[in-house]
Structure 1
Amino acid sequence: MSDAAPSATRLEHFHVTFFAIVMGLSGLTLALHASEVAYGLSSLASDISFYATVVVFIVIALFYAAKAMRHGASVRAEWNHPVKLAFFPAISISLLLLATASVGRFDGLAETLWLAGAALQAVLTLAVVSGWIGTRAFLHGQLSPAWFIPAVGNVIVPIAGSQLGYVDLSWYFMSVGLIFWIVLLTLVINRLVFHVPLPGRLQPTLVILIAPPAVAFVAWVRMTGDIGPFALILLNAAYFFTLLVAMQLPRIIRLPFALSFWALSFPFAAVTIASFVHAGAAGSAVHKMIGTVLLAALVVIIAGLVLRTMKAITAGEICQPE
């Protein structure tokens, strides 16, 4: 990818994990908007981030569509890969996050993106979970926090869905996401504690542990307006995982760069947004400050990821056979 567009060989290795970049940038857009609301600022920063994210999404979607048309066997190989399979719903989640960011900007676009993203998320969740429990045999060592993406990612749907009027559908996705969070959290913690450590390229996915309770908190508040005990359990679980992951970050960031490092971005955005949402709902200056500190960390993380990704692209280290 050192050229303007990937060569035929590199296009074949243009993995679905590229959509994690869109998730991270969308998360930044939403976190910036949350901070603007909290501080009564103009939407300039989040607007710039929104349009940049849309451009990145279009570019990545076009490249992956080209890969699907020219290298269908490679896409099927990704689908059959025990690790990469979990990243396919990053496509639908990208649509849902863009829909959420579009609410209040372009409501017609928001609804279109949300309907497309929700439908695709429903299909991919069923397909991936069916694959997990079907005739294929998965090894325990193939389990990673990335497995949260297909099923637990459903909790993203209600954030925009409830604002667009799709309340019953939003509760369906919320229910599925929360149930699978409990199931997969148990499995993932068991894997992390009692089995060999995650491979180097998957170490950054540890940060994904933060996202489910943080996003579920935001979705819960959007649908119910309630910041009672259950909401606080979700928020504080997100804070615990943030502290837990922070202890691992010095080791993780020393690892060789890979696209999986973009897993650092969206979870930090999610807990940042959750902090600002609670600050606004409860009038909490403490949570507003926590959100501000987390936003500063998120901006540094995104800037570092962009620079390292551009460097890797320039050096031709991206889209290489594994």
Structure 2
Amino acid sequence: MRSGVVLAQVPVTLFTVVMGLCGFTLALRAGEAAAGLTHFLSGAAHMLTLAVFGVVAVAYLAKAVRHPGTVAEEWRHPVSLAFFPAISISLVLFSLVMLDVVPGIAHALFLVAVPAQLVLTLAVVSGWIGSRSFEHGHLTPAWFIPAVGNVIVAIAGVPMGYVEVSWFFAAVGLMFWVVLLTLVMNRLIFHDPLPERLQPTLVILVAPPAVGYLAWVGLVGDVDAFARVLLNLAYLFVLIVAAQVPRLAALSFSLSSWALSFPVAAVTVASFTHAEAVGSGAHAAIGFGLLAVLLAIIAGLLWRTGQALARGVLFGG
């Protein structure tokens, strides 16, 4: 009985843990390559990500089978709705993590994830512009998640050979990023502050330009002016978020705290990618600095997640 209750409480936001660990693995790989090291640490992170990915996927699938009503409630919720594309994004990211290790499995995951990403994007956008009414308080940086997911498809799709598909998803993601950025900044400036449990989602502001940079460089095969604009916008949002660190550090832990991880991983990978592409030691140094911050964030999140799980309160916030 108790296990059934816990299963019903498993939230869709749990997939942000998978996103964070996938990003962490990719950031470690980029850092190891920049430092000329073997992929020992990223290999260990890969194994951890695989284990967490399996547990989260099985748990939420079991919830969907045994408690479809609670999944429907999450879907109808104006805030958690935006987190559903994290499911397909996790699949896309994991295909990218697996690409150099087991290419066949990576391609299979990608071919499953891309249609799911398209369906979830259309469903979420239809939910936004459909018959339900939203208030300004429902809008958070988490609404960037569907846009970010579409751009991530392009990051994974180009090295797998799906160039035209990648252009489609990159265009969709970048267009929605511009629209949502305007809406989100209006909400943050002119309306009530984010609730405490959603304040970590502020860091998601960093993700769209960072993944946009990676996708664009992959698509055009070069670091052009637009790529530099995207990377520097990512750095701007890093600085904006850094000014909020004292407030963010004082927040109590919840699963939404994992929103801190993937954006930092994305801008870390972007920094190493730019450093290699243009031979910039400064950007390599930025990458290593961000990687150190990411290591601290992941260690803290894993520790606090373990504590919450041990106390049986992980899904209470």
**TM-score (normalised: structure 1):** 0.97
Equivalent in the alignment of 2:40: 44
Q: What are the superposed Cα offsets for residues 12-48 of structure 1, whole Å, 9 maximum, x if unpaired? A: 1100101100000000000011112212211111111
Question: Runs of 5+ in structure 2 lacking a partner?
Answer: none
Equivalent in the alignment of 2:178: 182
Task: State the distance in 2 between where 1:189 and 1:275 align.
Answer: 25
Q: CA deviation at 1:152?
A: 3.3
Q: Indicate whether 1:191 and 2:187 are aligned.
A: yes
Equivalent in the alignment of 2:240: 244
CA contact (8 A) 2:15 2:86 kept: yes
Alignment of structure 1 residues 253-272 onto 2, 5 Å:
253-272=249-268
Q: CA deviation at 1:153?
A: 2.0
> SS in structure 1 opposite 2:170?
helix
Alignment of structure 1 residues 138-217 onto 2, 5 Å:
138-217=134-213
Task: State the distance in 2 between where 1:242 and 1:6 align.
Answer: 42
Q: CA deviation at 1:125?
A: 0.1
Equivalent in the alignment of 2:128: 132
Q: Indicate whether 1:221 and 2:224 are aligned.
A: no
Task: State the distance in 2 between where 1:101 and 1:6 align.
Answer: 35
CA contact (8 A) 1:11 1:319 kept: no
Q: CA deviation at 1:122?
A: 0.5
CA contact (8 A) 1:129 1:151 kept: no
Task: State the distance in 2 between where 1:6 and 1:296 align.
Answer: 40
> SS in structure 1 opposite 2:120?
helix
Equivalent in the alignment of 1:308: 304
Task: State the distance in 2 between where 1:201 and 1:276 align.
Answer: 31
Q: CA deviation at 1:158?
A: 0.9
Alignment of structure 1 residues 62-73 onto 2, 5 Å:
62-73=58-69
> SS in structure 2 opposite 1:215?
helix
Task: State the distance in 2 between where 1:153 and 1:95 align.
Answer: 10
CA contact (8 A) 2:74 2:81 kept: yes
CA contact (8 A) 2:146 2:173 kept: no
CA contact (8 A) 2:255 2:315 kept: no
CA contact (8 A) 1:83 1:143 kept: yes
CA contact (8 A) 1:86 1:146 kept: yes
CA contact (8 A) 1:152 1:180 kept: no
Q: What are the superposed Cα offsets for residues 198-256 of structure 1, whole Å, 9 maximum, x if unpaired? A: 00010000000000000010111112122121000000000000010011121012111
Report the AA paired with residue 165 of structure 1.
G
Report the number of matched residues.
317
> SS in structure 2 opposite 1:197?
coil
Report the AA paired with residue 102 of structure 1.
M
Q: CA deviation at 1:73?
A: 0.3
Q: 1:11 aligned to 2, 7, 10, which one? A: 7
State the superposition RMSD in angstroms: 1.1
Equivalent in the alignment of 1:94: 90
CA contact (8 A) 2:83 2:145 kept: yes
Report the AA paired with residue 253 of structure 2.
F
Equivalent in the alignment of 2:50: 54
**TM-score (normalised: structure 2):** 0.98
Where does structure 1 differ by over 2 angstroms across 4 or more consecutive aligned residues? Answer: none
Q: CA deviation at 1:6?
A: 6.9
Q: 1:24 aligned to 20, 23, 28, which one? A: 20
Q: CA deviation at 1:319?
A: 2.2
Equivalent in the alignment of 1:288: 284
> SS in structure 1 opposite 2:132?
coil
Q: CA deviation at 1:151?
A: 2.7
Report the AA paired with residue 40 of structure 2.
L
Report the AA paired with residue 274 of structure 1.
A
CA contact (8 A) 2:147 2:208 kept: no
Q: Indicate whether 1:110 and 2:106 are aligned.
A: yes
Change in 2 beyond 3 A, CA 1:212/1:6: farther
